[in-house]
Structure 1
């Protein structure tokens, strides 16, 4: 087909593709706009902003021919922004707040929850349900039976509130509902409001009574101050602590904060207080420094031992004089094939202080029974041993492949010079394996620095430290220590402090990674 005809055909088809593309882009823009508005209304401001930025860039890149080259880069950048940068920014933002299990709501939502609380007051009448065909009638009467109030027939509906106007009349004829019927329809009965002839509203307070309820707190004209209707106590929002807190006027009429706080609290910004707690609070600073040192030692020892064991075993199974090398390779790689969490749980049983096979053997041979889970030093030794077992197969497989790349001429030349196997290992094998293994060792160090699964399943951080204000154990790594602060704190789940420690971990790991990369670059050069 002539070139001119091909170009004419392409120009004829292009308007159709443009006519299909722009309505699709418009539809996607409307859909993402609707989602962004919904996120903003629900208070997800950061996520709404990120969605707006990513969707705007995506629509521009895929709708503009000039940005054609960015179409291949955009998915990676969007994924990195959504799954790496956004969680990091959110974690850092939470570190500057008092966000916790007691301070999860916004101020408006916390105020709404407090305003929705009620207390029982006024009349308290016994109730019963009388069958009226396919419907029911609500009957209220005083405990002495002096007054009977009856509602018109109604049906149960748990999805909507319903107000029944009660009138005084005689007890209606019909079968009285059993307690089982009331229990089964408790949600629907809870939606009923009984309006008495004098205008008082009663609601179900128990399985036998309807009582008058009133709001517990009254909102002042300023839209912030709350007054307890029962006690008259005054509460104001403390924007430093994130709670509605009781206040009392002093002699000159100035409000003074009292100890009483109303829950739930609300989230407020507290600046650098979480970071200062880590640096100044001895109950946090001491375990943090101790756990940091142990984390570095654990990661370093794990890398050194796994590489050493893996390298030695790789040299052994590559030894030409060894018979049955295939069987040994399979047996030595098995720990890598078994899921890690299964191996960890098996080792937890083997190291059991009373019934574990390891202590039974040590007791029979040497008369000792180490306290693997209650003594800090033995617990740390156990963790390093287990992690070495889990990590050496990977290093062994890498070393087996690298050994194949070492030229045999080097060993032949060393044999002519009369070198021993140990000299061959330290003069030829080790130097040629360390350089290509250095980046992998750095990656292994970073992984073990945050090896949460091992600690959580094997020791759960124990044995616990004494005299700390946050839950901390002698075998905790920084990542497990952060988890325990976030989810196991006795004073409530402190997400803000956990986010601050997570931010510090991010900075520490980043600095260590940069130092390792520079050191490895110098060695490789």
Structure 2
């Protein structure tokens, strides 16, 4: 409906509709930014704020009308590509690990929330259901006096002080107490409750079925240090190591996150325990990626040439059979091959044993394990290359082959002089992307070898079949230290390496094309 056919009230309503919707979107976006910022994700909140600002500008300004259709893709790239990359780079400059998980305020609060049992009476404790909430009952172990508190909802993420009242004589009996299993489930929440008795004393949970007088174990002093009220010792936060340390230098858990600059990158290239496996794994990663691309593309191109042979019968059936490895999910094929290569019961070793009397150690011999990986990855990759090459060969003008036949050239001459040059040029970007994909082919390594057999001369988890990406995963999640900061630094280095190799390959391809011209 055009504006000319609208009544004045309808025109006014339509004029105010767009600003109203825009205002609602802005309010919702700002609310989301505030919620994300409140959780401590400053970088993500900043990213969402930038996206919201761009959205308001693009969808409200006439000069940016053409970008309205591109913006959803740009926003998705910022959230799912740029933000993870920046977040990973940021972590690489910290000591973030399983020993340094918390931010400093949370680590400090952990110490300040710790308590110790002080002198005073102890009370038998039982927890009773009260509808959707609970009531607590305390009984003095010496005098037998009983107190009740509640009802209250138990939440593990809050600290609460409640008042207890004397249990009146003849009061209705409380329901049966909760089971031990349920009590254990509420233990964390109960530890956050302080009960104030009628005489002013305060007690806290000292055991699953006991409350007693407790005091904070640590108190914060004016200089920021923490003093132990039980033994008088003092600990101080070390902003360099990321730990609270005693006067003797002992580091206490939990640690906290601090910025350490380029230390993680320095460790990769200067510490022998990281440098030696890193260099060896990098060399193998490049070889694995290059050989996979070479074998898969060569096999795929060979099959594509054969399937384009006019005299070949049943070509459709062959195409379908050869494409099946690509149609089957990769992880299923990998697990099937893991069984086929089994040393004792695998079909491959059974055949080799029957024919030649040998049983190769596919998973324990480093060289054979690498050969196995190349075989499996070639099997997974050649169908896609075959399909691409078949399409490219179909696009080659038939006149070229007819002229070649008139000149007396054979099939090999046709391949090297016509087919390969015309197919290789459009295939080059795909080969580069395939190299980059296999550079980070984590699934194959994780499912088939797990990076093993391991190096026997390294103190960090590293295997002879590890790629850089699986080596990073083992450092981040499988090592006892779980060093996320170091893993993030390695990930950043991998990204730069892949980008550099891809740029060099693209530049070299361009130079070759220029020379041919």
TM-score with structure 1 setting the length? 0.88
Check the 8 A contact 2:122/2:213 in 1, yes or no. no
For residues 396-437 of structure 1, give each alpha carbon's deviation from its aligned partner in whole angstroms, at most 9, with x where no partner exists: 111111222223333333333333322222222222221221
Partner of 1:513: 502
Query: What is the rounded CA distance, in whole Å, between the counterparts of 1:481 and 1:136 in structure 2?
Result: 52
For residues 41-69 of structure 1, give each alpha carbon's deviation from its aligned partner in whole angstroms, at most 9, with x where no partner exists: 33222122222222112112212223323
Offset of 1:308 from its aligned partner? 0.8
Q: Structure 1 residues 196, 435: CA separation in 2 closer, same or farther (over 3 Å shift)?
A: closer
Deviates more, 1:47-56 or 1:130-139: 130-139
Q: Structure 1 residues 131, 281: CA separation in 2 closer, same or farther (over 3 Å shift)?
A: closer
Which of 45, 61, 72 pairs up with 2:58?
A: 61
Deviates more, 1:33-42 or 1:386-395: 33-42
Q: Structure 1 residues 213, 320: CA separation in 2 closer, same or farther (over 3 Å shift)?
A: same
Q: Structure 1 residues 310, 226: CA separation in 2 closer, same or farther (over 3 Å shift)?
A: same
Check the 8 A contact 2:326/2:383 in 1, yes or no. yes
Q: Structure 1 residues 416, 182: CA separation in 2 closer, same or farther (over 3 Å shift)?
A: closer
Q: Aligned runs of 1:396-435 on 2, under 5 Å?
A: 396-435=386-425
| Residue 495 of structure 1 pairs with residue 487 of structure 2 | no
| Residue 457 of structure 1 pairs with residue 443 of structure 2 | no
Check the 8 A contact 1:139/1:148 in 2, yes or no. no
Query: What is the rounded CA distance, in whole Å, between the counterparts of 2:29 and 2:135 in structure 1?
Result: 48
Offset of 1:386 from its aligned partner? 0.2
| Residue 371 of structure 1 pairs with residue 367 of structure 2 | no
Secondary structure class of the residue paired with 2:326: helix
Q: Aligned runs of 1:315-394 on 2, under 5 Å?
A: 315-394=305-384
Partner of 2:145: 149
> Structure 2: where are the runs of 5+ without partners?
none
Offset of 1:15 from its aligned partner? 4.3
Q: Aligned runs of 1:8-27 on 2, under 5 Å?
A: 15-27=12-24
Partner of 1:289: 279
Partner of 2:247: 247
Offset of 1:23 from its aligned partner? 2.1
Check the 8 A contact 1:283/1:467 in 2, yes or no. no
For residues 465-496 of structure 1, give each alpha carbon's deviation from its aligned partner in whole angstroms, at most 9, with x where no partner exists: 233343211111111111111111222x2111
Secondary structure class of the residue paired with 1:523: helix
Q: Structure 1 residues 24, 123: CA separation in 2 closer, same or farther (over 3 Å shift)?
A: same
Offset of 1:137 from its aligned partner? 7.8
Deviates more, 1:54-63 or 1:284-293: 54-63
| Residue 32 of structure 1 pairs with residue 29 of structure 2 | yes
Q: Aligned runs of 1:226-305 on 2, under 5 Å?
A: 226-248=226-248, 258=249, 260-305=250-295
Offset of 1:244 from its aligned partner? 0.8
Which of 312, 335, 338 pairs up with 2:302?
A: 312
> Structure 1: where are the runs of 5+ without partners?
1-5, 249-257
Partner of 1:46: 43
Partner of 1:220: 221
Query: CA-atom RMSD, angstroms?
Result: 2.9
Secondary structure class of the residue paired with 2:212: strand
Check the 8 A contact 2:304/2:389 in 1, yes or no. yes
Secondary structure class of the residue paired with 2:259: coil
Aligned length: 503
TM-score with structure 2 setting the length? 0.89
Q: Structure 1 residues 131, 310: CA separation in 2 closer, same or farther (over 3 Å shift)?
A: closer
Check the 8 A contact 2:269/2:275 in 1, yes or no. yes
Q: Structure 1 residues 340, 154: CA separation in 2 closer, same or farther (over 3 Å shift)?
A: closer
Q: Structure 1 residues 11, 475: CA separation in 2 closer, same or farther (over 3 Å shift)?
A: farther
Check the 8 A contact 2:3/2:11 in 1, yes or no. no
Secondary structure class of the residue paired with 1:454: helix
Q: Structure 1 residues 379, 66: CA separation in 2 closer, same or farther (over 3 Å shift)?
A: same
Which of 75, 90, 99 pairs up with 1:93?
A: 90
Check the 8 A contact 2:161/2:193 in 1, yes or no. yes
Deviates more, 1:118-127 or 1:393-402: 118-127
Check the 8 A contact 2:94/2:260 in 1, yes or no. yes
Check the 8 A contact 1:283/1:469 in 2, yes or no. yes
